[in-house]
Structure 1
């Protein structure tokens, strides 16, 4: 069965000057993920990633364990949801009707938990019919890009292939919702729980795509125990 493995990037550098950089733990997660996939006999025929550094570096580190060299094909449609853009343009509108979110913002977004609450509110506003901000990429534009990159990968690679896609949580959520034929309003439920370096598997045949499993990081949980390290993270 032809498969696409959607792999979220390793832990980035939340709170640092450059978020788009794998932390030391993120680099370890990526390396261990690649070793796990190779150890279980998974051999990629092709590999894709977005243009973000954390996506490219995760792919490079993970693919190092493959028996043959696999070039990473970059495609900007696999980039993460533009959260910074949303906070700049959409958060002020959300605050007009959400005093609970204003209270969270007033406490500061240096906490991962508070930041996630704000992202949830802004994301759900972005995918709603109420959002018509012309200065940003619309949900319709973003989701069409996600749908089209999946179609193009399948068309380019053809049947019987095993493909790795190194991307981000929002992209994985949008792809999962698309495969399940769910609306934008149902997408966030797949966004928030995505673990760093988790693996989501899709099966495909011609133009039919189905979800095999979602957000698996059981191998990192097992390694956390055997290595005596905390390897499972959201952010």
Structure 2
């Protein structure tokens, strides 16, 4: 049966001028995942990623760990994250009292993002794309991935929000579950899906086999 392994990008550069690049740890997380799969003799028939910088770099790091050529990676922009900065800006414009102030912590930032996502999904604000457009493109790319699997194994690199939307759609969960799932997904976590005649089904979610040990557990991150 066709299998799809969807990986969230490695740790990005939170707080820097360019969030959309991996931190040093993010690169290492990606290489560790590739090395883990190399040790398991894992092989992938297709490798696909979004076209954001953090997606490309994560795919490159995984390929380095696997000993593969990065040029094998096909890019699908439909796998990109929603524009969370625009969503947060729109929510802040409507609710300025809720916006994080100077000196706000990372926890404050994520609380604000959570509120903004709920407002976006409820149609109270408009991002760079509507919630319905986000749902539609993820549904479409799931179909593309399922059709392209053709009995083999497909490795996909994407982002937390996009992966959360995939899981929501596959499980038929309510819209607000996307926000809850998004906040849980670890950097370079793997979610495993099967693609069959009846559609795509979830096998496992948010697994970090390359980090879940006493030596590396401190390197589990969420941004």
TM over 0.5: yes
Structure 2 contact 4–149 (Cα < 8 Å) conserved? no
- Following TM superposition, by how much is the alpha carbon of 1:165 offset from its aligned partner in structure 2, in angstroms? 0.6
Matching residue of 1:205:
196
Structure 1 contact 108–114 (Cα < 8 Å) conserved? no
User: Cα RMSD between the aligned structures?
Assistant: 1.9
Matching residue of 1:232:
220
Q: Map of 1:112-123 to 2, 5 A cutoff?
A: 112-123=106-117
CA deviations 1:53-81 (Å, max 9, x no partner) are 11111011102233654611111111112
TM-score (norm 2): 0.92
Structure 2 residue 95 is the aligned partner of structure 1 residue 106: no
CA deviations 1:99-153 (Å, max 9, x no partner) are 6x35xx23544x211110010000011111434x3x6300100111011011012
Distance 1:40 1:85 in 2: 40
> Which secondary structure state, in structure 1, belongs to the residue aligned with residue 184 of structure 2?
coil
Which moves more between the two structures, 148-157 or 42-51? 148-157
Distance 1:218 1:69, change over 3 A: closer
CA deviations 1:212-233 (Å, max 9, x no partner) are 01001243021xx236x73211
Structure 1 contact 154–206 (Cα < 8 Å) conserved? no
Structure 2 contact 7–188 (Cα < 8 Å) conserved? yes
How many residue pairs are counted as aligned between the two chains? Answer: 222
Matching residue of 2:161:
170
Distance 1:68 1:83 in 2: 32
Q: Map of 1:61-76 to 2, 5 A cutoff?
A: 61-66=61-66, 69=69, 71-76=72-77
Structure 1 contact 8–196 (Cα < 8 Å) conserved? yes
- Following TM superposition, by how much is the alpha carbon of 1:154 offset from its aligned partner in structure 2, in angstroms? 1.7
Q: 1:185 pairs with 168, 176, 185, which one? A: 176
Structure 2: gaps (5+ residues): none
Structure 2 contact 2–149 (Cα < 8 Å) conserved? no
